């Protein structure tokens, strides 16, 4: 199986033994993004809107590194430590996508890496697979 590793300095570097993204069989599987500023390496703290905006910026950077945009996303999973934040996150998330929207799951978890309140992972199709 041929795999291509996706990497960009415009999104946070991996904090473990994983890749930012892996392209295989016409799909691109992206690791979850948390609110880390890729230039300072620091976690973005504050309310959920600040964290969600940083996560979406990180996702945009890894999509750009793959020469695709949000229109190529076919599935996303949002992890929140508090489902009461869903409305705010949904608004910020929704600004990046147009119809037809990707499939999506949202789940509440007890904790996320580095104590953040949100993580989003995505799967996209490679536009070269058309």
Dig out the tokens for 13 from the structure.
């570097």
Q: What is the pTM of this model?
A: 0.94
* Phi, psi (rounded to 5 degrees) for 83: -65, -15
Superfamily of domain 4-129: RutC-like (3.30.1330.40)
* Phi, psi (rounded to 5 degrees) for 61: -65, -40
Q: How far apart are the first and last CA of the chain?
A: 19
Q: Where are the domains of the chain?
A: 4-129
Distances (CA, A) of 56 to 24, 26, 36, 60: 23, 23, 11, 6
What whole-number distance in Å separates Cα of residue 46 and Cα of residue 26?
37
User: pLDDT tens, position by position, for the chain (130 residues)?
Assistant: 789 999 999 999 988 899 999 999 999 999 999 999 999 999 998 899 999 999 999 999 999 999 999 999 999 999 999 999 999 999 999 999 999 999 999 999 999 999 999 999 999 999 754 4
């Amino acid at each position: 199986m041929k795999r291509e590793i996706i990497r960009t300095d415009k999104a946070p570097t991996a904090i473990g033994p994983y890749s930012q993204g892996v392209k295989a069989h016409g799909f691109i599987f992206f690791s979850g993004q948390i609110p880390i500023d890729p230039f300072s390496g620091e976690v973005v703290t504050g309310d959920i809107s600040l964290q969600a905006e940083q996560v979406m910026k990180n996702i945009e950077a890894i999509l750009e590194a793959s020469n695709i945009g949000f229109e190529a996303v076919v599935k996303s999973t949002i992890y929140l430590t508090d489902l009461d934040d869903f409305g705010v996150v949904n608004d910020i998330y929704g600004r990046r996508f147009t119809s037809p929207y990707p499939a999506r799951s949202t789940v509440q978890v007890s904790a996320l890496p580095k104590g953040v309140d949100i993580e989003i992972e995505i799967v996209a199709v490679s536009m070269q697979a058309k």
